[in-house]
Chain A
Amino acid sequence: MEKMENGVRSTFHHWPGKTMSGDTAPLSWPAQGLTRVPYTVFDDADVQAREQAKIFRGLTWNYLGLDCEIPKPGDYKTVFVGETPVILCRDEEGGVHAMVNRCAHRGALLCFDKQGNRENFTCVYHNWSYDLRGNLKSIAFKRGVRGKGGMPPDFDNAQHGLERLRVTSYRGIHFGTFSEQTPPIELYLGPVMCRYLERIYSRPLRVLGQHSQYLKNNWKLVMENVRDPYHASILHLFFGSFGLSRQTMKGEALLDERGWHHIVYTKRATDDIRGSEYEGGRIPNMKSHLKLADPRILEEWPEFEDGITNMVQTVFPAVTFQQISNCLGVRHLVPRGPNECELFWTLLGYEDDEPWKTRIRARQANLIGPAGLISLEDGAVTNFVQRGIRGRAPDAASVVELGGSSIESSENRVTEAPIRGFWKGYRETMGL
């Protein structure tokens, strides 16, 4: 909002075409590089418009959904790529397609429900009808009524299908891209990210819960938060107080070669806090005297041979895959204007889970989400940033210097390297 053009404050923020056609960068990045993040990226409408063009419609693979959400031919769900409404569906032969949820006629949403099963997509406005691949199949009154009116004789349905995304699937996870140049998903993710997705997503899954959380902050504050191992045992007192996660436990902060994606994991019960900052209550907000009346909320079973009890993985730009004990899930983030966003949670189990496993997963779901014992604070704190950056000096920026300026993987998690990795991906896609 601070930007001036020829000395006149731009009042056309809501009109992305204005800024995009000129393709001028909406800001210049601080000289310090990835250790500084200009606050302008968190509330500027021009930045947001450029993100839609450069990130969500650019060279990225965007999360669309899971195989288990659309198991049968004709199954579909609606989703968003950035702010663009998208339909993910399965055709009669089992192929998976994604197209923009917008009638090619006059732009109405084709699907206004969240999921279902259909043989075709018909627009309620004027009955333009599309097959499950997005091809326009029929137009109401195409030849007019009693020979009068209708579309011109040379109107070619084949030229007016839905806008398509390229879809790729990795271990039953469907991703879409608007670009022809986005590299194959295995290259995009890199071997380390692939290995950790494979670890959870190689068996048939089942949805255990689905809901969303509306956040009063820019979407990138959520991505910073989820890639931030620094705050986990500080902000989330439950974590430290009940020994779920401490910096002394074995773990790693991993990034792919480009630094765009990340994984942070810990292995509980692998640490000795003697001689560390955790000993003798030297971490002021740790409340290790607290006792749960019914500790079954922490009941778990060792599900993965590698001993990882807590893992959060992001794939640039906006999706997170989590394993908190046995609570598995996907968090898909959708920008809602520069100052708000919506986080869609999908909680998962395996198709062949015994009932006791489902029960434990459901109970552990108390830890995460908008009422989560270790995540409720996240929605509060990201909003604190959004409010804190108001009325700033034009060059104000955050300091992301924990662990230096590297974007390397490391065994210690007292680092902000995964956050710097996000901003590296951001700058590269945004051309900033």
Chain B
Amino acid sequence: MHLDKTEARLAIEELMREYAACIDDGRYEEWPAFFTDECRYLIIPRESHERGYVSGFYLCESKGMLADRILCLRETAIYEPQSYRHLIGGTRVLSVEGSTCRAETGFAVIRTTSDGEMSVFAAGKYVDTVVFDDGVPRFSEKLVLTDSTRIDVLIAAPL
């Protein structure tokens, strides 16, 4: 499969919208399906990533680990109800090689907690490797690089 840059961008933008809607709607069980079986999902401050640090806030190295995160979110994690609203920026396609694309997309997430308080919880960019399999795009790697090194209290649901 060969994509040109514009086709890739349109497909990834569509993927990003679905991805954000999935999390914002609280359909967390569907979240792992956006990834390939072997994958890497990492939330890490941009500054840490640039320093070459490997540890961030959240690391999953397979679709199973993504599912485990959701299992724990539902079954073992204790926190007050909260929801996210992703504001997704335009996608920049960095490279297209065969059916694999690398792309960057800016984001901001507003978190609303049950007492009604809203705050800009996170801003940053997704640096994604997207693999098209039978025309279906999935993330084989998703780096969530946060602009801040600081997290407000806790991260429950994925970004």
Contacts and interface: CB of A to CB of B under 8 A. Distances in A.
Interface of A: 207-216, 235-238, 241, 287, 290, 292-294, 296-297, 342, 347, 358-359, 361-363, 365-366, 369-371, 373, 376-377, 379-381, 383
Contacts of B65: 293-294, 296-297
B98 to A, nearest CB: 28
Contacts, number: 121
Given A211-B45, A211-B57, A362-B59, A293 B68 contact: yes
A235 B159 CA distance: 24
Nearest to B149: A211
Interface in B49-65: 51, 53-65
B134 interface: no
Interface in B75-90: 75-80
B71 interface: yes
Interface residues of B, number: 36
B77 A373 contact: yes
B55 A376 contact: no
Contacts of B154: 213, 370-371, 376, 379-380
A374 to B, nearest CB: 9
B153 A377 contact: no
Interface string B134-154: 000000000000000111111
What 6 A-B pairs have minimum CB-CB distances, sorted nearest first? A209-B55, A294-B64, A293-B64, A237-B76, A371-B155, A370-B151
Contacts of A376: 77-79, 154-156
B101 interface: no
Contact of B59 (A211, A213, A363, A377): A363
Contacts of B57: 211, 369-371
Contacts of A290: 71, 75-76
B96 interface: no
A361 B77 CA distance: 22
Contacts of B56: 209, 211, 365
B43 interface: yes
Given A363-B59, A366-B58, A380 B80 contact: yes
Contacts of B60: 366
B3 interface: no
Given A377-B78, A380-B79, A380-B80, A209 B72 contact: no
A206 to B, nearest CB: 10
A362 B57 CA distance: 10
B150 A342 contact: yes
A209 B61 contact: no
Contact of B55 (A208, A236, A380): A208
A346 to B, nearest CB: 10
23 contacts: A207-B53, A210-B51, A210-B149, A211-B45, A211-B48, A212-B151, A213-B151, A241-B75, A287-B75, A290-B75, A293-B67, A294-B61, A294-B67, A363-B59, A371-B151, A371-B155, A373-B72, A373-B76, A376-B78, A376-B156, A377-B78, A379-B153, A381-B78
Given A294-B61, A363-B61, 4 more contacts: A213-B150, A213-B151, A238-B77, A366-B59
User: Which residue, B60, B67, B72, has most C-beta atoms of chain A within 10 A?
Assistant: B72
A236 B77 CA distance: 7
Contacts of A377: 77-79
